[in-house]
Structure formats: C-alpha cells, structure tokens
Structure 1
C-alpha cells in the first residue's frame, strides 16, 4: 500500500469511529446557572436566579419511581478581589427537593427542611419551577462597604448524600449522578 492510500484508510477509520461515538453519545446532562439578578429591597439585596436543569436519564427514572431528589443552591457573596482564605460575607446552602407522588400523579417541589410545596402535573413544569429562585434575601445593604466591589457566586448540585441508602453506591460510582453547575460568578450590582 502506498503512503497516500494508508492516509486515506486511516482517515476513513478515524471518521467512522468518531461518527459511531457521536451516534452513541448520551443526551446532555448537567446544570447551568443562566442568569442571576440582585436588587435592593427594604434595606437588603434580594436575589432572582434561573437555573437550567438537564437531569440524566437514570436520575429522571429514579424521580419517576418516587425517589426524592435534593438540590443544593450554594450561594456566596465575596469581595471581588478577596484572597482565597478570606471569609465570604454570605456562604449559604439553600436546599430544595423535587419528588413524584404516584397516588396523586403529581410532582412536588419544596424548600427543605419543610415538606409542603407546590404541585405540578408534569415533570418538566416541576423542573422549570425548581430552577426559578425568586425574591431570596441575600445580604443586608449595611454589611457592604460602598468603596468595595463584590461578586455573587452560585453553584447548584444534586446532593447524593440525600438519596435512599440502597441507591447511593451506584450514585457514587456513576458519572450520570454527579450533576453540578460548577461555580458561576456574577458582579454584585447595588
């Protein structure tokens, strides 16, 4: 075989493998914080944020079989040029749950530690509502130095520790259960 034919055969093999991998690629899963807006209200800053949840198929299957899922919204307010070891002004974790109620055939979204929330007829509507943080008190304006710049950092993740015990080993081992947005940073406009 000439070197030219070897190159063509190699190229065809590589393209075939790439096409096969693309055809077998799983649907996109993961979380992303799409927007975060902060506004002053009654002496404090209030947060509105939107999160896009793209759950993996195993997670959605568990939800549809009645396994409650706990989502953690980790929120921090820091000075923009803060040193790594410097404390955050705000470092909170807001916990929300979504679950399916088979008897009523409804999905429910609620903030923990409570158990009462809002009911939804479809899973998609419940997931959309879960991703809408509205009017969350963030920090008092009196705690912010007018001479400093601050940033808001948000990370959202599925809390594997809150899954039922028999499901946890699989969730620890399979990447389809390790769902997180990673940290996103937003300037804190006052």
Structure 2
C-alpha cells in the first residue's frame, strides 16, 4: 500500500473519531470531585461529594437507548502516622443508571441504599443522583481515636462496562465514555 493511501485512511479515521464524539471525550476525562465534605452524625463518619463533568452527549444518548451506566466511588480512610499512614477503611459505592424506554423513566440503584431505587422522568435529576454521595457512613466514630489525624481519599470512575456479545462493534466509540477522577484527599482531626 502506498503512503498516500495510508495517510488518507488515517485522516478519515481521525475525522470520524472527532465527528462521533472525540471532542467531547475530553470533557468526561476531566471529571472532577467537588463539594467534598467529611462530617459526622452522632454515631458515624459521613461523606458528601459531587462529581462534575461525568457525562458526555454520547453517554446520554446511549443511556436513552437502554445502555446502563455504572459509576463507582472508591473511599479510603487512613490513620495519619509519622512514617506511613495506616489504611483501616476501604469502601466502594456503585451507582447504576438505566432507562426504561417503555415507561420513559430513569432508575438509579445505589449500593449505599440497598433495596431502594430512585426513579425520575428527567435525565437531569438522574444525572444528579448518579453523581452524588449523600452521607453514606464511612466508619463508626467509636473506631476513631480522639485528637488523631486522618486522611480520607476518594476517587470516582465509570465502572467497567459489560456489553452483550458483539455490541462493542455496534458502538465503536464506547471507550470514549471512560472517565476516572484523580484521588481527592481531605485531612482532618477527630
């Protein structure tokens, strides 16, 4: 094959990637955690956070076409030590969003609220519910040492996707949905 032909094919593939969402993948890849708050109830350490820029137009279209999406939130609580921190809590919370085309309804299942399904008719409300952790317990307060230093680290990512066999060929830009935030850390004393 000639170099001219290969350049033409490469240019065509690049143009298709940009046309089918290559420009928007950068938005999802720049997902950030905002409003990260660590607080407590009378018995537990609680976490609140919001993920921004997690959805692209392609993801929204895929959701409307019945493709479920799962966000995973990773939480680590470490006791701050002079030489090396000691991790004593490691949690994962999963949020799964799906759309029922017959009912025209979005459903969100959140692992931190077992047995409860949030349902809404609007994609905006569904996206908000997907991208927030609203006070799941991280650790019982009785396990924390008074006046000790702690680090709470959190990260969010679009969970591994499992499409039915050969579906990856129908949705060629599936990998553009990927996002993963950096680790965000809050340091506090109890």
Q: Do Structure 1 and Structure 2 share a fold, with TM-score over 0.5?
A: yes
Aligned position for 1:110: 109
Aligned position for 1:90: 89
Instruction: Check conservation: 2:97, 2:126, Cα contact below 8 A.
Output: yes
In structure 1, list runs of 5 or more residues that go unmatched.
1-20
Instruction: Check conservation: 1:75, 1:92, Cα contact below 8 A.
Output: yes
Following superposition, the deviation at residue 99 of structure 1 comes to 0.8
Inter-partner Cα distance in structure 1 for 2:34 and 2:74: 15
Alignment of 1:50 with 2:50, yes or no, is: yes
Following superposition, the deviation at residue 25 of structure 1 comes to 7.0
SS in 1 for 2:145: coil
SS in 1 for 2:155: strand
Following superposition, the deviation at residue 173 of structure 1 comes to 7.9
Q: 4+ runs of 1 displaced by more than 6 Å?
A: 169-173
Instruction: Check conservation: 2:106, 2:123, Cα contact below 8 A.
Output: yes
SS in 2 for 1:66: coil
Aligned position for 1:130: 130
Offset from partner CA, 1:45-82 (integer Å, 9 cap, x none) = 11122222432333222211111111101111113457
SS in 1 for 2:93: strand
Q: What is the aligned residue count?
A: 167
Aligned position for 1:9: none
Aligned position for 1:77: 77
Aligned position for 2:158: 158
In structure 2, list runs of 5 or more residues that go unmatched.
1-17
Following superposition, the deviation at residue 162 of structure 1 comes to 4.2
CA RMSD of aligned residues (A): 3.1
Aligned position for 1:188: 188
Instruction: Check conservation: 1:160, 1:171, Cα contact below 8 A.
Output: no
